[in-house]
Every structure is written in structure tokens, then in C-alpha cells.
Amino acid sequence: MKIENNAVAGTLESSDLQVAIEPIENGIELDITSSVMNQYGRQIKATVLETLERLEVTNAKVTIVDKGALDCTIKARVECAVFRSCGKSDKNLPWGGALK
């Protein structure tokens, strides 16, 4: 998917994360801050990259502020931000396809 506009998903509540996504031209630029960085930083990075790959996002600046969210939450927030950035979050979401 091609990131078209700036979009945000999620909150800064405990056990949630906020994902901000912006269009850029030259690959994936990822910035993560997390309250559980020392134990889960690498896993958060892997989950975000996997999710972007599954959605075929190849160019995006992604900023994550994590407050100890579980993997399922991280995936959902990243997916939502990507679909919002393309204006496709309101209907016909590919449940069972790109969205698992």
C-alpha cells in the first residue's frame, strides 16, 4: 500500500501505543520509544516491520510511542494507521486477507 497522507492511530494510555505514519519516498524510517524498551524493544520493532511488510508498505515514516501494548494491539494500531493514511479505513477492509 502507498502511504498518501499523515495518519495517526491509538492513544498514549497504559497498555496502548500511538502510531503516526507519514509519506516519504525512500524506504521505511522507524522511530520507537517504549516504556518496556529494555525487554520488548526488539520485538516491537519486529512486529511493526512484519505488519508493514504484510500490508506491502515500502515507503513510510513511522513513529511509535508505546506504553506497554501487547503484540495484537501493536498490529491493530499499525494496520489502522496505514488504512487511514490511504483513506480506506471506513469500509471494505480486507478481513481475512491482508488483515488477519
Partner 1 sequence: MKNAVGRDIPESLLTNGREVYQGKNYMDGKYMQKAAPKTRRYEKPQESKIVDSIVDALKAVGARSGMTFSFHHHLRNGDFVVNMVMQAAIEELGLDEITIAATSLGEAHDPVAQYIEDGKVVAIQTSGIRGKIGEVVSAGKLKTPAIIRSHGGRPRAIEAGEVHIDIAVVAAPTSDCVGNCRGIGGKSNCGSLGYAMTDAKYADHVIVVTDCLVDFPNMPASVEAIDVDAVVVVDSIGNPKKIASAAARISQNPRDLMMAENVAKVIASTPYFKDGFSFQTGVGGPSLAANLFLEQEMNKRGIKMGWAIGGICGPMVEMLKKGLVGKVIDVQDFDLDAVNSINQTPGHYEMSASQYANPANKGAFVNKLDFVVLAALEIDTGFNVNVLTGSDGVLRGAPGGHPDTAAGSKCCIIVTPLVRGRMATVCKNVVTVTTPGDCVDVLVTDYGIAVNPLRPDLIQCLDEAGIPHVTIESLQEKAYSLVGTPDDLEWEDKVVAVLEARDGTILDVVRKIKPVKL
In the bound state with partner 1, the residue whose beta carbon lies nearer, of 11 and 35, is 35
Piece in contact with partner 1 (CB under 8 A), picked from 27-35, 54-62, 75-83, 84-92? 27-35
Longest dimension (CA), the chain: 38
- Tell me: does residue 29 bind partner 1 (CB under 8 A): no
Q: Which residues pair with 64 in a beta bridge?
A: 19, 32
- Tell me: does residue 40 bind partner 1 (CB under 8 A): yes
- Tell me: does residue 39 bind partner 1 (CB under 8 A): yes
Q: Which of 78, 66, 3, 77 is nearest to 32 (CA)?
A: 66
Q: Which of 55, 50, 62, 64 is nearest to 89 (CA)?
A: 55
CB 62 within 8 A of CB 1: no
- Tell me: does residue 92 bind partner 1 (CB under 8 A): no
- Binding region for partner 1 (CB under 8 A): 14-15, 30, 32, 35-43, 45, 67-71
